[in-house]
Structure 1
């Protein structure tokens, strides 16, 4: 036997068996081992998936390394491929197999896979969870939740919609199985846009409780029309979970764009920590994402838009002709709305820390939507009133893409330098024009942290301009109010600085008479 280093990242062992030369992956490389033994047994992914009772796409994801293999999957693979224990040893050697779920002694989820498919105006959601009873008593039911929001960030529209057209069980057409056995279900909560249902481990013919130490595959699905489903999909971690994966499937003709954010009970929304993978085949585009060992309370939200703006997209308009049209489509309140002209309500912190977290999460999601419409070379900011929320919160993305996002709660500018300059600014609430605005090059801002403490932060030049713009919004002021007398905004078509950073030099600076 001899060893060589392959062009892959794992080591290959060559040995002679039955007068043939076979390559064997290193013990800890389960995806490569699975591929090796599947090909050795001359099985396609579809044939192996049928033998194991898994979807063919799941086999592909495990072999590519996008999804981790569950313990049940590894045991079944060993059984069906007869690798003399090599597959099982390979899975055991992988880092994930040595971790144990948090909250031992409880029901936990080995694998949570969700798929959402859109076709001809209808969304079909399919959930598959491999659950394990780590407790001491049999489990007889499982709680599932269904929540929809047609107009994220605009509760008044969603409330009116579901009040007049509530989500119904008949239209949902909920079905559920446990290891292939149909499950009966009982409604726990039945609200206009939110449902909770107990999936029972029984049907009219038998009972199949989940006993301690046993595992089972739960699958349930339901359908919702695009008239009731907004363009977002969220997974919330409520049980100890080893791995979560999500797959979105859309017609390629819609030219879909997908992004995502992560939030928790203690942190504001941030972009997903790992990239969403895109693949196109046979006229359909799939977007897949997964994570390992998610914390309890984490929420993973994926959102999308149709770039082709087809007529069967419920959000479609004849055309998004102007820059303001695009911002309006992204959910930004436009000029003329009363909320932009008044001072936003401050947060009482730390008592309202939870409310502040929710508003900041809405701002981050709106930023993602806006950035899908426009590239911001100068950085950007967004204040809560601009998404219809009357609270004193704003986020600012600095011009440097590697710099941290600035979070502002109850901000007040307490000091400004006399040294100023004038630069053109844009505003998402009237994005068809740009205005030449004089601002201080250095400002000091007092703002509140979620724990209720206050801090003072100094901002200079471009970041000072961005922050001042958003603080103004929280006090009912727009940049038009800051422009010099007799100066008017210019059409965005005449502006030549789109996509570039502001420049700062002495020629742009003015000083007060006292400093001349």
Structure 2
């Protein structure tokens, strides 16, 4: 008897003892079933959405754990309720049941919920359906027809083995007992019920909301080392992926899936640059039906440690070419499947290295290389091999799944190999940067391709290569935003936050240096950059010290920059001054902004607020605006009737003395903010 049989229970009608559906164990006393099965068991309309009364009990029969003369029946109540959300059995048809006493001592075994994608179109899954004998059911196979609404999939069941009375049963991988969903059989008519699978996303939601110990299995194939490289020759990128795998399952693995995708091009802050990739798709439309895949992928398989029955394998250590097939093709992504050699699959206990490589042009691929951290990854490393004669500059970023919380990636190293500069990063499983679900990214640009600012046709394109998010065509009062609008405060009493602040400031200084190298600013101009302008949503900014003849405290500026961590303007002058400002996120224009002449700023890490006036106060206020999700063209910053002007028009107005110098107030009157 397998795990599936020892986890399944019938839900009984409370009045007639008739079997109305299935449930299955996911913990010692925790089961999942369909909400409509619970309704049927307690005599309600199956589409009822109200939660059952807390005194309502169901009875579950575990027939495969007992004998005909000794039925194992246990009472249970509803601990979590996710009923049908609308008519016609729409998704969200889940209930969590709690047993009054467990059945583990009688041989019950909880099933594990797979963390992988629930089901795939055309794939086979195992379910529990009617069978001979006492009608206790048996394994039956279904084929996934396709998605039928969020979190629900249509199942093709040609033998009609799954019927309405078997709703709530587990759906498993075809070759394991891992749960990928739950059966929802909808009675259209007696001869042809529609059978669906509710995804494991819903099962997680139900279990977590009930605060029940839902056991989740880890992937059975571990990723011992994930190594990726990108090599640039000046016109195209060659990408190499090398993965060392261990098969911890009980079955042989014969295939491996991966995808080639681009998220944005280049560093312009556009999450999905549909327009660009429709013009420069990864795969030209004329080649999308090529079974080998329009991106020419080469792949190899090397058995490095034999598994069960492979101790004398002549293939041990032999690097073998393997077949590759494209499964799904789009402008920005191609999904592939690798096929291990027929005579050398990845047997249980075996280790192997798979490698694959492909080439894309630099119009298809931006100046970045990103890797996702997969589950059960023990080590990861990435490298960018860039031509030394192009004078490359690279840095790293760490991204959570949601893209909120972007932060600099510490530990990126640089070395020279022949005619290439190699930027590299590596981490082990116990490093915070290797948390499952996070992503790591290397970004770069080439100084030999950066024109002087006086010759740059579009400064935004250059600053975008530095990682500064760009806003195109700003106008007064525009609501268009590419910068983060919400930023996080750091607690400098926490070592982790102090380290993060250090990393962010180090990167802000690095970018400020690049900007200063690109454009020759006048020494009396104070300039700054805020973390949100780099997509880093923390309350951190830096501002340069202007050469304006003012004497500043020696400890205020470190190497020419004022470091602002969690800055807050606590006082400002009533006296205001109007002057022109620029911004690195829309550098090709200037705009008039009215601001207080003086401000007092509280900065974390400094005991007392500091006072600033004039151009420096304006720069600090500008950067604090970024930390508050604002820009200078907002309607409450730029005076009514004003619009940004081009840099050329601004310079012309200055040469023609059409821009009056700001009037310095004779006295200052302070007020709290």
Cα deviations across residues 39-68 of structure 1 (Å, max 9, x unaligned)?
xxxxxxxxxxxxxxxxxxxxxxxxxxxxxx
Does the alignment pair 1:163 with 2:302?
Answer: no
User: How do residues 74-473 of structure 1 correspond to structure 2 at under 5 angstroms?
Assistant: 106-148=220-262, 149-153=264-268, 155=270, 158-168=273-283, 172-179=295-302, 180-202=319-341, 206-265=342-401, 268-274=405-411, 276-293=412-429, 294-309=434-449, 320-321=453-454, 325-331=458-464, 337-338=473-474, 341-344=477-480, 371=512, 373-375=514-516, 379-381=528-530, 396-399=540-543, 417-418=572-573, 426-428=582-584, 429-430=586-587, 438-439=595-596, 441-442=599-600, 463-468=620-625, 471-473=629-631
User: How do residues 18-33 of structure 1 correspond to structure 2 at under 5 angstroms?
Assistant: none
Q: Deviation of residue 230 (structure 1)?
A: 0.5
Contact 2:632 2:638 in 1 (8 A): no
| Number of residues of Structure 1 aligned to a counterpart in Structure 2 | 349
Which whole-Å CA distance do the structure 1 matches of 2:273 and 2:266 have between them?
Answer: 5
Which whole-Å CA distance do the structure 1 matches of 2:511 and 2:460 have between them?
Answer: 7
Q: Deviation of residue 300 (structure 1)?
A: 0.3
More helix, by proportion: 1
Which whole-Å CA distance do the structure 2 matches of 1:431 and 1:370 have between them?
Answer: 18
User: How do residues 3-22 of structure 1 correspond to structure 2 at under 5 angstroms?
Assistant: none
Q: Deviation of residue 240 (structure 1)?
A: 1.2
Contact 1:442 1:464 in 2 (8 A): no
Q: Deviation of residue 418 (structure 1)?
A: 3.8
**Which secondary structure does the structure 2 equivalent of 1:466 belong to?**
helix
Aligned-residue RMSD, C-alpha = 4.9
Which whole-Å CA distance do the structure 2 matches of 1:405 and 1:240 have between them?
Answer: 36
Which whole-Å CA distance do the structure 1 matches of 2:371 and 2:476 have between them?
Answer: 33
Q: 1:402 to 1:459 in 2, by over 3 A?
A: closer
Q: Which residue pairs with 1:511 in the alignment?
A: 669
Q: 1:345 to 1:112 in 2, by over 3 A?
A: closer
Which whole-Å CA distance do the structure 1 matches of 2:339 and 2:448 have between them?
Answer: 43
Q: 1:117 to 1:346 in 2, by over 3 A?
A: closer
Contact 1:140 1:209 in 2 (8 A): yes
Q: Deviation of residue 341 (structure 1)?
A: 3.6
Cα deviations across residues 385-423 of structure 1 (Å, max 9, x unaligned)?
x99xxxxx886424478968659xxxxx99864456769
Q: Deviation of residue 325 (structure 1)?
A: 4.3
Which whole-Å CA distance do the structure 1 matches of 2:532 and 2:219 have between them?
Answer: 45
Which whole-Å CA distance do the structure 2 matches of 1:140 and 1:460 have between them?
Answer: 68
- Bigger CA radius of gyration: 2
Q: 1:162 to 1:465 in 2, by over 3 A?
A: closer
Contact 1:343 1:475 in 2 (8 A): no
Contact 1:140 1:200 in 2 (8 A): yes
* Unaligned residue ranges in structure 1 (runs of 5+): 1-101, 310-315, 351-362, 388-392, 408-412, 445-457, 495-505
Cα deviations across residues 60-89 of structure 1 (Å, max 9, x unaligned)?
xxxxxxxxxxxxxxxxxxxxxxxxxxxxxx
**Which secondary structure does the structure 2 equivalent of 1:198 belong to?**
strand
User: How do residues 19-98 of structure 1 correspond to structure 2 at under 5 angstroms?
Assistant: none
**Which secondary structure does the structure 1 equivalent of 2:515 belong to?**
coil
Q: 1:414 to 1:253 in 2, by over 3 A?
A: closer
**Which secondary structure does the structure 2 equivalent of 1:330 belong to?**
helix
Q: Deviation of residue 157 (structure 1)?
A: 8.8
Q: Deviation of residue 128 (structure 1)?
A: 0.6
Q: TM-score, normalised by structure 1?
A: 0.55
Contact 1:426 1:435 in 2 (8 A): no
Q: Which fold has the larger relative contact order, with Cα–Cα distance below 8 Å and residues 6 or more apart in sequence?
A: 1
Which whole-Å CA distance do the structure 2 matches of 1:381 and 1:479 have between them?
Answer: 18
Q: 1:335 to 1:323 in 2, by over 3 A?
A: farther
Which whole-Å CA distance do the structure 2 matches of 1:334 and 1:478 have between them?
Answer: 21
